[in-house]
Amino acid sequence: MTNAYQTSPPVEQLSWLELNRIASLQEASRLSGLSPDSLRRHHGDRIVKLSPRRSGMRVIDALMIQQAAWVQYD
Protein backbone atom coordinates (compact mmCIF):
# COMPACT_ATOMS: atom_id res chain seq x y z
CA MET A 1 0.00 0.00 0.00
CA THR A 2 1.44 3.38 -0.97
CA ASN A 3 0.66 6.61 0.76
CA ALA A 4 0.26 10.09 -0.71
CA TYR A 5 3.55 11.21 0.80
CA GLN A 6 5.47 8.87 -1.49
CA THR A 7 3.39 9.44 -4.63
CA SER A 8 2.82 13.21 -4.73
CA PRO A 9 5.49 15.38 -6.34
CA PRO A 10 7.56 17.76 -4.21
CA VAL A 11 6.11 21.25 -3.97
CA GLU A 12 9.36 22.74 -5.29
CA GLN A 13 8.92 20.95 -8.65
CA LEU A 14 5.43 22.31 -9.37
CA SER A 15 4.85 25.61 -11.15
CA TRP A 16 2.86 28.44 -9.60
CA LEU A 17 0.04 27.73 -12.05
CA GLU A 18 -0.14 24.04 -11.09
CA LEU A 19 -0.08 24.84 -7.36
CA ASN A 20 -3.04 27.20 -7.72
CA ARG A 21 -5.07 24.80 -9.86
CA ILE A 22 -8.33 23.66 -8.30
CA ALA A 23 -8.37 19.87 -8.05
CA SER A 24 -11.41 17.71 -7.45
CA LEU A 25 -12.00 16.56 -3.88
CA GLN A 26 -10.99 13.03 -4.92
CA GLU A 27 -7.61 14.29 -6.15
CA ALA A 28 -7.21 16.58 -3.13
CA SER A 29 -7.94 13.58 -0.94
CA ARG A 30 -5.18 11.59 -2.63
CA LEU A 31 -2.71 14.49 -2.32
CA SER A 32 -3.48 15.23 1.33
CA GLY A 33 -3.87 11.67 2.57
CA LEU A 34 -7.28 12.42 4.08
CA SER A 35 -10.67 11.16 2.98
CA PRO A 36 -12.99 13.59 1.16
CA ASP A 37 -15.26 13.53 4.21
CA SER A 38 -12.39 14.52 6.52
CA LEU A 39 -11.44 17.33 4.16
CA ARG A 40 -15.01 18.65 4.32
CA ARG A 41 -15.20 18.37 8.12
CA HIS A 42 -11.77 19.65 9.13
CA HIS A 43 -10.70 21.87 6.23
CA GLY A 44 -14.00 23.20 4.89
CA ASP A 45 -12.60 26.73 4.77
CA ARG A 46 -10.23 25.65 1.99
CA ILE A 47 -12.89 24.03 -0.20
CA VAL A 48 -13.96 25.94 -3.31
CA LYS A 49 -17.52 25.46 -4.52
CA LEU A 50 -17.35 25.00 -8.31
CA SER A 51 -21.05 24.38 -8.90
CA PRO A 52 -24.01 23.33 -6.77
CA ARG A 53 -22.88 19.70 -6.93
CA ARG A 54 -19.10 20.03 -7.42
CA SER A 55 -16.41 21.06 -4.94
CA GLY A 56 -12.66 21.28 -5.20
CA MET A 57 -9.53 22.40 -3.40
CA ARG A 58 -6.36 24.13 -4.52
CA VAL A 59 -3.42 21.78 -5.00
CA ILE A 60 -1.22 23.89 -2.71
CA ASP A 61 -3.77 23.60 0.12
CA ALA A 62 -3.98 19.81 -0.23
CA LEU A 63 -0.19 19.49 -0.21
CA MET A 64 0.16 21.79 2.80
CA ILE A 65 -2.37 19.68 4.75
CA GLN A 66 -0.28 16.61 3.97
CA GLN A 67 3.01 18.26 4.99
CA ALA A 68 1.49 19.60 8.22
CA ALA A 69 0.36 16.09 9.13
CA TRP A 70 3.85 14.65 8.58
CA VAL A 71 5.55 17.45 10.54
CA GLN A 72 3.12 16.95 13.42
CA TYR A 73 4.04 13.26 13.74
CA ASP A 74 7.82 13.62 13.34
Residues 6+ apart with CB under 8 A from 31: 4, 8, 23, 59, 62, 63, 66
Q: What is the pLDDT along the chain (74 residues), one digit of tens a residue?
A: 455 455 555 667 888 899 999 999 999 999 999 999 999 999 999 999 999 999 999 999 999 998 876 665 55
Q: Tell me the CATH number for domain 10-73.
A: 1.10.1660.10
Q: Residue ranges per domain, the chain?
A: 10-73
| pLDDT at residue 10 in the model | 63
